[in-house]
Structure 1
Amino acid sequence: MSIRVGIVGISGFGGGEALRLIAGHPEFELVHAAGEGSAGTLLGERFPGVPARLAGLRIEKWDPEALPEIDVLFASLPTGTSAEALARVPDRVKIVDIGGDHRYVDSWTYGLADVWPERIAGQSRIANPGCFPAAVLTALAPLLAAGLIAPGNIVIDAKTGVSGAGRGGGDSRFGFAETNENLQPYGLLQHVHMPEMARTIEAIGGGSAAGLVFTPHLVPMTRGLLATIYCRGQATTARCLEAARAFYADRPFVRVTDRPPQTKWASGSNMAFVSYAADPERDLVMALGVVDNLGKGAAGQAVQNANLICGLSATAGLGGAPVWP
């Protein structure tokens, strides 16, 4: 029997990626699509390449109290717009919130699927990590768990494709002329992903994340995310790689590589790539994490989380290889 799912915010980049993954999922059946500006149109009009069986599904205006009979709801709404509405979704419906309103909120489970799958299985309210935390925390978790780095004074320098900013609305910063051949730092000292990274670093590392510095940048590509992370620690490169391979030994989506990862390696997939370089004499450990910001950084991890809460294999519907070139 198929698992009936819905997507709200289907016209955004995250919602559209969730649609792509669910359309090919062996157990999930998309029966409800909701949005605001796209309400009233057919999926086939909004997404001309959607499978024929879904093309006639009409996008409804988002109303949490008028949901059809569904088992799982994927919510891909801008941060700050989902908390009140999702509180009115019936308890019988499992929710994976791709947006930022429920990360480290009581009664919601933080869905860092490759690090804490056992905490996610069987839950009904999942807060998907942000795209930057997906890369950063996946790279840091093995080192923190093994005590190879200090949890404080970590410096994160991260680059993301422009789709990480969402559709952008009327913000001219995200237009072609502004982003092409350009590199833009943003969100300095106050980025919305800082609190969840700090909380998770402390939870895994067992100490204060004081001194955490995070500088994100927009780069002129559509999708992809690379985080270069500077930490204090006495471990060698070989010891960091060994710890990561042991930590992720049974995690199908995480690859530990000897050479620095590239964003193309993960494009269009739910993969995460991590690598390390260390110099004990300088008390320096560099961790590198790569994800597709719309894949592991959003819809891919959301589907992985939905698989876990529905008792399915974590890999269901996510077996596609990255797109290359």
Structure 2
Amino acid sequence: MTIRVGILGISGFGGGEALRLIAGHPQFELVFAAGQGSAGNRVADHFPGVSGKIADLAIEKWNPATPPKLDLLFASLPSGTSAEALAQVPKGVKIVDIGGDHRHVEGWAYGLADVWPTRIDGHNRVANPGCFPAATLNALAPLLVNHLIEPGNIVIDAKTGISGAGRGSADSHFGFAASNENLQPYGLLKHVHMPEMAKTIELLSGGDPAGLVFTPHLVPMTRGVLVTIYCRGSADTNQCLNAARSFYADRAFVRVTDKPPQTKWATGSNLCFVNYAADQERNLIIAMAVIDNLGKGAAGQAIQNANLIFGLPETAGLDGLPVWP
């Protein structure tokens, strides 16, 4: 079975990573590519490494009045721009929205694939989690569903590579001179991923996440996310690790480790590494996770969600090893 696939926003980082993964997928065939600033060029003009039919595929502007014949559409557009475009896609075309407009929106499944795969299977509208929620929620899910931590006392310290800002950003803070040898917090108390994480914590735990604190930091590396999460709970380290091992026992992409994870472990992959440390005397549990923000945090999980939609093996097109070094 060949599945005809399109990408909206192919010239961005998320769209480019989706292209890379689709090119190696056993059943996906890229037949449509759209980009605003890149329209009129060939795919190979922006991604010289591609070959065959993909290389000569013309990048078009998205025109909802003349939709291409597709089975599946990946949308990798900036937050606030995808809702209008995707509302005009024919119902018969399945969509995975890598952008932020449809997370926890009625009619869209929330694509936290390693935690809720059955909610995605067979659904034709799926909203990918953001990169920070993808790491954070995979680390917290086993603790929340087993009531090992208090949902209202969670503090998240996150670090991300510069590609998380997206290729389209013109902000000078993301240039080499400003970012190299620098570490900077941003989005304090109002980051766009806060409501998404709070809603999911509530759904997983049944409790009130009102005390949630989240602070992201930009670090001078290209890709990767590391979250260190401080929680209140009386469990010991082994209880946390065992809860995660049981929760993810049949999941292909979450690895529970015995030592704190590093971002390099996940580079270029759809993997998520989680680890826990607990101090019972202080009622403190630390949960840690790393992902590739363009992999599990964007296009990798999008491909995983698409596999679930079509009833394919979740690992299809995603079983390559991380890049090292």
Distance in 1 (alpha carbons) for counterparts of 2:274 and 2:229: 11
8 Å CA contact 2:12–2:168 kept in 1: the answer is: no
2:140 maps to what in 1? 140
Superposition deviation, residue 112 in structure 1: 0.1
The residue type paired with residue 123 of structure 1 is H
1:15 maps to what in 2? 15
Report 1:98-109 matches (<5 A).
98-109=98-109
**Which SS does the other structure have where 1:74 is aligned?**
strand
1:224 maps to what in 2? 224
The residue type paired with residue 97 of structure 2 is D
**Which SS does the other structure have where 2:65 is aligned?**
helix
Q: State yes or no: 1:36 paired with 2:33.
A: no
- The range that moved more, 129-138 or 52-61, is 52-61
Distance in 2 (alpha carbons) for counterparts of 1:137 and 1:224: 16
- The range that moved more, 189-198 or 59-68, is 59-68
CA RMSD in angstroms comes to: 0.7
- CA offsets 1:132-157 (integer angstroms, 9 cap, x no match): 00000000000001110011120000
TM-score normalised by structure 1 residue count: 0.99
**Which SS does the other structure have where 1:230 is aligned?**
strand
Distance in 1 (alpha carbons) for counterparts of 2:169 and 2:274: 33
Distance in 1 (alpha carbons) for counterparts of 2:215 and 2:245: 27
The residue type paired with residue 127 of structure 1 is A
- CA offsets 1:34-74 (integer angstroms, 9 cap, x no match): 01000000011111001223110000011233221100000
1:180 maps to what in 2? 180
TM-score normalised by structure 2 residue count: 0.99
The residue type paired with residue 29 of structure 2 is E
2:165 maps to what in 1? 165
Superposition deviation, residue 281 in structure 1: 1.0
8 Å CA contact 1:100–1:127 kept in 2: the answer is: yes
2:79 maps to what in 1? 79
**Which SS does the other structure have where 2:144 is aligned?**
helix
8 Å CA contact 2:151–2:205 kept in 1: the answer is: yes
1:307 maps to what in 2? 307
Q: State yes or no: 1:289 paired with 2:306.
A: no
The residue type paired with residue 226 of structure 1 is L
Superposition deviation, residue 168 in structure 1: 4.2
Q: State yes or no: 1:129 paired with 2:133.
A: no
Distance in 2 (alpha carbons) for counterparts of 1:65 and 1:126: 23
Q: Structure 2 vs 1, CA of residues 121 and 143 (structure 1 numbering), >3 Å: closer, same or farther?
A: same
Report 1:241-260 matches (<5 A).
241-260=241-260
Superposition deviation, residue 208 in structure 1: 0.2
- CA offsets 1:268-288 (integer angstroms, 9 cap, x no match): 000000000001110100000
The residue type paired with residue 43 of structure 1 is V
- CA offsets 1:167-217 (integer angstroms, 9 cap, x no match): 143210111101100001000000000001000001001100011000000
Which of structure 1's runs of 4+ aligned residues deviate more than 3 A? none
Superposition deviation, residue 31 in structure 1: 0.2
Q: Percent identity?
A: 74
Q: Structure 2 vs 1, CA of residues 168 and 46 (structure 1 numbering), >3 Å: closer, same or farther?
A: closer
1:64 maps to what in 2? 64
